[in-house]
Amino acid sequence: MHKTGTTAVQTSLARSRDVLLERGVRYPGTLMAHRDIASSALERPLGWRTDGARPPQPHLWKQAVRQAHQWQGRTLISSEFLSEADDAQVDRMAVEVGTDRLHVLITLRNFGRLLPSAWQQNLKSGFQTPFPDWLRRMLFDEDEATLNTVFWRRHRHDRLVRRWARAIGAQNVTVIVVEESDRLGIFRTFELLLDLPANTLAQHAGAVTNRSMTMAEAAFLRRLNLAVGGSSGWSAYRHGLHDGLVKGLVEGRTPPENEPRLTLPDWAADRAAQFGAEFADTIADSGVRVLGNLDVLRARASSSAGDQAELDEIPVDAAIAAVLGVLEVAARSRSPMRSLPARVGDRMRRVRRYLPARVS
């Protein structure tokens, strides 16, 4: 599932391809994860926003299945986006692979603890809804539009497990419960399941991080989204400067321990714990194999009284990291101004008329 440590695991798998092959395990391709194969299998573009996203390539899924059948060992395909498959898509994939050949691993994390990360992923795609407003809608609204959002397609963990168990048999589904306190636990679990020597994957644990933003970083990005015209101002797939800014902000600095993080309001933590308990009970009754403690899913996430007020200041090093990310992308572009949203580009062009001539 999204936001369950998958980026770190996929990076470790990609860096261990040679070792995997020696153990009879193929990790297809050269990229970190198999997003394009998932897009092909689901027959649609992927992401929070799909305008401008790469269209699916129909042959990739069929090619992956064919190569897996030709390989004498095991083939591992990893993509969080496969969690968005509906009943019909799951049934089709199961038939095409063969239920006797297929085993599904599902990584799960405490539902309440992943909510801040899920909202921040919205921000990275240009959205501008404040955190409390987004929580109220996702956790309490039951209208069709809300239930059909990307968030709920991804995060009805109970239905996901039940869907795959029905299609390929509960004995062919393994749920891995990710515990926040055991940073290397998910790597050891994958090593065990793939018959890999100890530390094969864990040694790469710190290679790539996909950390959550702090309160200040999230406030900065949300207000920037508003400044450029909200979700219609950015396109996550067309504006490289925006992506560079986000990457610079998240990967370009390590925030100090005392920098405030997002936490759930009490009312949201209570509601999330209800969902988590429901998910855990359904999984326990499904008959699938569970590695880890389902009580982790039932636990109430830490919270704070009232809604957190959005910060008005951003640390200087965070602003510098964001700007450096933009400059790095701009330096690679022949016409960086064209990468800007029209609203911001027009403003900057007007400002440039009043700047001194550039000295070569």
Give the tens place of pLDDT for each residue, 269-293: 999 999 999 999 999 999 999 999 9
What pLDDT shows up at residue 323?
86
What gap in Å lies between CA 42 and CA 189, rounded to an integer? 27
Close Cβ partners of 96 (under 8 Å, ≥ 6 residues apart): 61, 62, 65
Give the pLDDT band of residue 241 (cuts 50, 70, 90): confident
What pLDDT shows up at residue 353?
45
What's the chain's Rg over C-alpha atoms?
22
The number of C-alpha atoms within 13 Å of 241 and in the hemisphere containing its C-beta is 22
The SS3 of residue 22 is helix
357 burial via Cβ count (<10 Å: 0-12, 13-18, 19+): exposed
Measured over the CA atoms of residue 339, residue 344, residue 346 and residue 352, the dihedral's sign is: negative
Q: What's the helix, strand, coil split of the chain in %, to 5?
A: 55, 5, 40
- C-beta of residue 260 within 8 angstroms of C-beta of residue 212: no
Domain boundaries, the chain: 6-212+263-304, 213-261+315-352
Average pLDDT over residues 77-94: 96
Nearest partner of 5 among 258, 218, 182, 163, judged by Cα: 182
The per-residue pLDDT of the chain, averaged, comes to: 87
Average pLDDT over residues 230-258: 74
Q: Is the pLDDT of residue 360 over 50?
A: no
- Spell out where the chain has E strands: 25-26, 74-75, 104-108, 173-177, 264-265, 289-291, 303-304
Measured over the CA atoms of residue 320, residue 209, residue 1 and residue 212, the dihedral's sign is: negative
Q: Is the pLDDT of residue 246 over 90?
A: no
- Higher pLDDT among residues 126 and 175, named by residue: 175
- C-beta of residue 244 within 8 angstroms of C-beta of residue 339: no
What gap in Å lies between CA 74 and CA 149, rounded to an integer? 34
Superfamily of domain 6-212+263-304: P-loop containing nucleotide triphosphate hydrolases (3.40.50.300)
How many residues make up the chain in this entry? 360
Q: Is the pLDDT of residue 49 over 80?
A: no
For residue 198, count other CB atoms closer than 10 A to its CB.
Answer: 11
Average pLDDT over residues 81-103: 95
Average pLDDT over residues 254-264: 91
- C-beta of residue 244 within 8 angstroms of C-beta of residue 326: yes
Give the pLDDT band of residue 201 (cuts 50, 70, 90): very high
Q: Is the pLDDT of residue 141 over 60?
A: yes
Give the pLDDT band of residue 206 (cuts 50, 70, 90): confident
Question: Which residue reads 């390539």 in tokens?
Answer: 57
Q: Is the pLDDT of residue 230 over 90?
A: no
